[in-house]
Copies of this chain bind each other. A is one copy, B any other.
Amino acid sequence: MRVAAVHKLAMADPGDTSGADGLDLRDAVAVVGKTEGNGCVNDFTRGIAARAWREALGSHVVTVMSGGTEGVLSPHALVISEIDEDPGAPAGALLVAVGSSDPIAPAALGREAQARAVAASVRELCRTSGIPVGEVQLVLVKCPLLIGNGIPSGAPPPITTDGYESMSRSRAASALGVALALGEIDEAGLAAGLAGDRNVHSAVASTSAGVEVDRCEIVVLGHSPGARGRLRASHGVMADALDTTWVRTTLDAIAGAGGRVLHVLAKAEPAPTGHIRGRRHTMLTDSDLQPTRHARAAVGGLLAGLSGDPAIYVSGGAEHQGPPGGGPVAILWELAP
């Protein structure tokens, strides 16, 4: 059986793949990374990186590049490969499965059709990879956005004509699709989520929108009881942007067991209420700086401090990913040798 392996590579600029030099990455299947653009509508750094990594590793590689390295966050790529399992290692190794949906039409974006397309892909990836639905630890989705002037006249009206808002809608639908595929929500939950109920959420979805894709690119990470290897992923949820409980507990547990943390991946967002623990935040009223940039900077600072590593994946906009104002977190780690 093939199991997942990861390499975290620094990037000196959005097109830098020199970190791969000298490595055998022939079996790479996905690249998940952070680039230094604004992470919003006119962020072209994601596209530069996606293209560069496909040129470096092969056009089959699925790329999930998330823009925005505000604060201490450091641009990097996590290359995920499939390698032969290690017969001498414990069972329950991490597996990876990658794929993509069909193109998402502008009229489908942010709507039920997008959610169902993602759900179908995730189900199929679980089925074909042998990752049991209950063992999924993280589902990364890179999904499209709308730019107002890209919509053909005569086409059905899109859910919004505002590009930034379309990113939120696309992330939301993708997350609901993941939740539906994994049984975290049912049909009623999907309907409620699509109607705007932010409490409906997935605990393992991590979705990111970008102008560089026209479909949903998907990376599923989960354990297989029958596969042997040392790589593991743990997932938890931050209840709000200050919530360190799960992360501290888990980091301590890994360290206590002699494990080694390889990566942290999290979603972050401004609390929609405008308040965190009763205190007013200003992320939603700052017209100079987009809310997602604020959120990445703050949660990135927190998780980098806790983990001691600024080259982590913190993505902004956590619609239906964790509770409102919070977000899912996953830690990739290696068992003690």
Residues on A close to B: CB < 8 A? 10, 12-15, 36-38, 40-45, 47-48, 69-76, 147-149, 162-164, 211, 241-244, 272-277, 279-290, 293-295, 297-302, 304-306, 308-311
Contacts and interface: CB of A to CB of B under 8 A. Distances in A.
A107 B300 CA distance: 35
Given A42-B287, A42-B288, A311 B279 contact: yes
A10 B279 contact: yes
Nearest to A244: B305
Given A42-B287, A287-B290, A73 B281 contact: yes
Given A280-B12, A285-B147, A298-B301, A37 B44 contact: yes
B71 A294 contact: yes
A72 B299 CA distance: 9
Contacts of A295: 71
A242 B163 contact: no
Contact of A289 (B70, B162, B281, B284): B70
Contacts of A164: 287
Q: Which of A43, A308, A310 has the most CB of B within 10 A?
A: A310
A220 to B, nearest CB: 27
A7 to B, nearest CB: 15
Contacts of A162: 284
Contacts of A272: 148
The 3 closest A-B pairs by CB, nearest first: A71-B298, A298-B301, A40-B287
A171 to B, nearest CB: 15
Contact of A297 (B40, B288, B294): B294
A249 B141 CA distance: 38
Main secondary structure of the interface of A (DSSP, over half): loop
A285 B244 contact: no
A50 B120 CA distance: 40
A214 B305 CA distance: 36
A275 B242 contact: no
A280 B42 contact: no
Given A14-B44, A148-B274, A71 B279 contact: no
A126 B248 CA distance: 41
Nearest to A302: B305
A294 B74 CA distance: 13
Contact of A302 (B38, B211, B301): B301
A14 B280 CA distance: 12
Contacts of A75: 280, 282
A64 B290 CA distance: 27
Given A36-B285, A244-B305, A279-B311, 4 more contacts: A13-B211, A44-B44, A69-B281, A241-B304
A285 B148 contact: yes
A310 B242 contact: yes
A41 B287 contact: yes
A294 to B, nearest CB: 5
B44 A45 contact: yes
Given A280-B12, A289-B289, A149 B275 contact: yes
